Amino acid sequence: MLELVLLTLAGLSALSYLPLTASAPSMWRSGIKTLPLSLFAFVAFWGGGPVWLIVGLTFSALGDFALSCTGSDTRSDTALSRTGSGSAEHAFLLGLVSFAAAHLCYAIMFWGSVETVSWPAIASLAVLALSTEVWLAPYTGALRGPVRGYVLLICVMTGLALSLPAGLRLASVGAVLFLCSDLVLSLQLFRMGQNTWQARGAGYLLWGLYILGQGAILFAFLGRFGEVWGLS
């Protein structure tokens, strides 16, 4: 019952954040954005989920908070990467490192369940990672190195997720949604004009993909939820 209440609250808070995606940074906005993944992490802990899942969700909540404080999750110009100065860049890097750590946690967790590596998936993701050298890296300025490292980690994580057995297929879907969310975010941050309708629409899309992806990974690795959905 407690888990159901917390998941409902997480869903409501995620919906509440949607109209705030294009708002200026504030503590209220940061709190709303951080709440869903914080609740996911607590549900994973309370439900006896894997340690790597709990830690990964916690790092994700920290990343949400860091990005929301800088406003870099709503800014649609490359000023942050061009200036390379001040607390905004530091907070952005904290968010980037936090999500990279979350991907590493998920990769370790997935690796423990992989029986056969899906080489077609790995090859496809390698092509995607290499393609970012054309459409992303040249636009990231001083953040090029950290962004390259992040791209590598999320592609490795997603490749392992796509190699999971059928009983954990929901986690595979979740990882792909997470990857798509980050692709949209990278376009919003580094390729879209500031305050355009495309950037505002991207904010809604990436948040929805992100929450659904994280929720799918959570459900896949909490056994009884998987049983309810016929996925474990």
Task: Tell me the pLDDT tens digit for each residue of 189-210.
Answer: 888 877 777 888 999 999 999 9
Considering the chain, what percentage of its residues have pLDDT values greater than 90? 73
What is the mean predicted confidence (pLDDT) over 123-145? 96
Q: What share of the chain is helix, strand, coil (3-state, %, to 5)?
A: 80, 0, 20
What is the mean predicted confidence (pLDDT) over 177-184? 97
> Exposed, middle or buried by CB within 10 Å (0-12, 13-18, 19+), for 77?
middle
Q: What is the pLDDT of residue 140?
A: 92
Q: What is the pLDDT of residues 49-80, one digit of tens each?
A: 999 999 999 999 999 999 988 765 544 334 35
Average pLDDT of every residue of the chain: 89
What is the mean predicted confidence (pLDDT) over 159-171? 96
Q: What is the pLDDT of residue 71?
A: 60
Distance CA(41)–CA(57), nearest Å, equals: 5
Q: What is the pLDDT of residue 24?
A: 82
Residues with Cβ within 8 Å of 142's Cβ and at least 6 positions away in sequence, in order, are 81, 82, 84, 89
Q: How far is CA 127 from the centre of its chain?
A: 20
Is the pLDDT score of 225 beyond 60? no
Q: What is the pLDDT of residue 232?
A: 43
Q: What is the pLDDT of residues 28-42, one digit of tens each?
A: 999 999 999 999 999
Number of residues that make up the chain: 232
Q: Can you say whether the dihedral through the CA atoms of 90, 62, 29, 71 is positive or negative?
A: positive
Q: What is the pLDDT of residues 75-115, one digit of tens each?
A: 433 435 444 445 667 888 999 999 999 999 999 999 999 99
Is the pLDDT score of 184 beyond 60? yes
What is the mean predicted confidence (pLDDT) over 136-150? 94
